[in-house]
Structure 1
Amino acid sequence: MVKFIKLCIVLLIAFQANAQEIRATFEINTDNVPGSNKQVFTTMERSLSEFVNQKKWTNKKFKQQEKIDCAFILTITSQPSSNEFQGTLQVQSSRPVYGSSYQTPVLNFKDNDFSFRYTEFENFQYNPNGFDSNLVSIMAYYVYLILGMDGDTFAMNGGTEYYDAAENVVNQAQQSGYTGWSRKTSGINRFNLITDILSGTYDGYRSALYIYHLNGLDLMHSNQANAKANIEEAIQSIKGVYTRRANAILIRFFMDAKSDEIVEIYSDGARYDTSQLKDDLTRISPSNLSKWNSIN
Structure 2
Amino acid sequence: MLAKRLIWVVGLFLLLPFAVKAQELRCEVIVNSDQVQATDRQVFQQMQNAISEIMNNTRWTNEYYQNEEKIRCKMFITLRAMPRVGLFEANTQIISSRPTYGSGYETTVLSFVDTKFAFEYNPAQPLQFSPNTYTSNLMALLSFYAYTIIGVDQDTFARLGGANAYTEANNIVSLVQSAGNTGGGWSANDDARSRYWLLNNLLDPQFEPLRAAIYLYHRQGLDVMAQDKEVARQNVLEALQNIQRVVRVRPGAAALRSFFEAKSSELTNVFTAAAPEQKQQAFELLTQIDPTNRAKYEALTRR
Find the counterpart in structure 1 of residue 6 from structure 2: none
Aligned partner of 1:74 in structure 2 is 77
- What is the TM-score of this pair, normalised by structure 1? 0.91
In the alignment, the residues of structure 2 paired with residue 273 and residue 204 of structure 1 have an alpha-carbon distance, to the nearest angstrom, of: 22
The letter for the 2-side match of 1:74 is: I
Q: For residue 38 of structure 1, what is the aligned residue in structure 2? A: 41
Quote the Cα distance in structure 1 between the aligned partners of 2:277 and 2:266.
Answer: 16
Report matched runs for 1:101-140 at 5 Å: 101-140=104-143
Match of 1:24, SS state, is strand
Superposed counterparts of 1:184-263, under 5 Å: 184=189, 186-263=191-268
| Secondary structure class of the residue paired with 1:221 | coil
Q: Structure 2 matches for 1:141-180, cutoff 5 A?
A: 141-174=144-177, 175-180=180-185
- Structure 1 match to 2:59: 56
Q: Supply the AA of the counterpart residue of 1:238.
A: I
2: CA distance, partners of 1:118 / 1:134: 9
Deviation at 1:246, TM superposition (A): 2.5
The CA deviation at 1:185 is 5.8
Alignment of 1:21 with 2:24, yes or no, is: yes
Alpha-carbon distance, 1:64 to partner: 1.2
Per-residue CA deviations over 1:27-85 (Å, capped at 9, x if unaligned) read 01111112342100100111111111011111111011110000001000101111100
Q: Letter of the aligned partner of 1:122 in structure 2?
A: Q
The CA distance in 2 between the partners of 1:272 and 1:164, in whole Å, is 42
Residue 273 of structure 1 corresponds to 278
1:211 counterpart letter in structure 2: L
- 2:187 & 2:152 partners in 1: Cα distance? 22
Q: In structure 1, how many angstroms separate the alpha carbons of the residues matched to 2:91 and 2:51?
A: 16
Offset of residue 244 of structure 1: 2.0
After TM superposition, the score normalised by the length of structure 2 is: 0.89
Match of 2:294 in 1: 289
SS of corresponding position for 2:219: helix
Question: Once the 2 structures are TM-superposed, how far is the Cα of residue 271 of structure 1 from its aligned partner?
Answer: 6.8
- C-alpha deviation, 1:272, in angstroms: 6.3
Aligned-residue offset at 1:179: 0.9
1:79-90 map, 5 Å: 79-90=82-93
CA contact (8 A) 1:16 1:64 kept: no
SS of residue matched to 2:187: coil
Give me the CA root mean square deviation.
1.7
Secondary structure, counterpart of 2:22 in structure 1: coil
Distance, in Å, in 1 between the alignment partners of 2:230 and 2:93 is 34
Give distance in 2, aligned partners of 1:225 and 1:252.
27
Where 1:70 maps in the other structure, the secondary structure is strand
- Opposite residue 24 of structure 1, the aligned amino acid is C
Displacement after TM superposition at 1:249 (Å): 2.7
Rounded Cα–Cα distance in structure 2 between residues aligned with 1:271 and 1:94: 30
In structure 2, the CA distance between the partners of 1:116 and 1:226, relative to structure 1 (3 Å rule), is same
Task: Give 5+ residue unaligned stretches, structure 1.
Answer: 1-12
State whether residues 193 and 253 of structure 2, in contact with CA within 8 Å, keep that contact through their aligned partners in structure 1: no
How far the C-alpha of 1:18 sits from its partner, in A, is: 2.1
Does the residue aligned with 2:146 lie in a helix, a strand or coil? helix
What is the CA distance between 1:139 and its match in structure 2?
0.5
| 1:110 CA drift (Å) | 0.5
- Deviation per CA, 1:193-216: give whole Å up to 9, x if none: 111111101111101100000000
Deviations 1:122-145 (A, max 9, x none): 211122222111111000000100
Identity among equivalent positions (%) equals 36
Structure 1: distance between partners of 2:63 and 2:36: 40
Q: Distance in 2 between matches of 1:108 and 1:248?
A: 14
